Copies of this chain bind each other. A is one copy, B any other.
Amino acid sequence: MQAKYIQIKNAITGHIEDGSWLPTEKIPSENELAEQFGVSRMTARRALDELCAAGFLVRSQGLGTFVADRRPMSSMLEIHNIAEEIADRGHAYSCRVAKLNRVSSDKRKAILLSVQEGQEIFHSTLVHFESGIPVQYEDRYVNPVFAPDYGLQDFNVQTPNVYLSSVAPLTEADHIVEAVLPSKAIAKSLKMDHSDPCLKITRRTWSKKGVVSFAYLYHPGDRYRLGSHLNF
């Protein structure tokens, strides 16, 4: 005898897999599922919670539960999704958008994005906060061919990373990790001392058709580490 919550999970993934519930579509509410399956709301919730953790569903308080529009990403990539990482730690995530505009690409940026020198590209800078404390300064350049509406986004709703993944599914990424001293402007944004070290990650991401974006991510050395969950 299967547990009831497992039967409900199988029924839901069945609907998703056979296409009767399409990506982004709203699915029945907790109360509706509880009634349909003749279980308590807590049992219906358990099925939804687990499918949500597995990346099949997305839930939003006050709105409902929806079929996820993308498959769960690889765990390697999740290491670099700052908003998710902070939420997973149970801390409050927030961000401040400092810049969002178009710039003309100089030679180096043109090469990195595989565009013509002088072509207009998007430029954004953001500061990401964990429980109100700045933990990442993001300096990003985006190829407008893959994300023509990048300049209109509200990154308080969806981080650049998540938005770009939705418009141009990620197929490849490339990282460089190094230790540097921050510029004065970056030190100020991160509320750290100019003489304290920063962990800098340079990241380029590809979609099937080319380079979507590259970003310089700066983290205060004493507030951010890459790797496993060990603490000493």
Chain A interface (Cβ < 8 Å from any Cβ of B): 2, 6, 9-10, 13, 17-18, 53-54, 56, 71-77, 79, 88, 90, 108, 112, 170-181, 195-200, 202, 204, 219, 221, 224-232
Contacts and interface: CB of A to CB of B under 8 A. Distances in A.
Nearest to A219: B179
A225 B56 CA distance: 19
21 contacts: A10-B90, A17-B231, A54-B88, A56-B229, A76-B76, A76-B227, A77-B227, A108-B232, A112-B232, A170-B232, A172-B229, A172-B230, A172-B232, A176-B225, A176-B230, A177-B199, A177-B227, A178-B226, A179-B180, A181-B197, A197-B198
Contacts of A56: 229
A71 B229 CA distance: 8
Looking at chain A's contact residues, the main secondary structure is: mixed
A179 B8 CA distance: 35
Count of identical protomers in the assembly:
2
A228 B179 contact: no
Contact of A197 (B13, B18, B180, B229): B180
A179 B198 CA distance: 6
Contacts of A199: 177-179, 199
A79 B176 CA distance: 12
Contacts of A202: 227, 230, 232
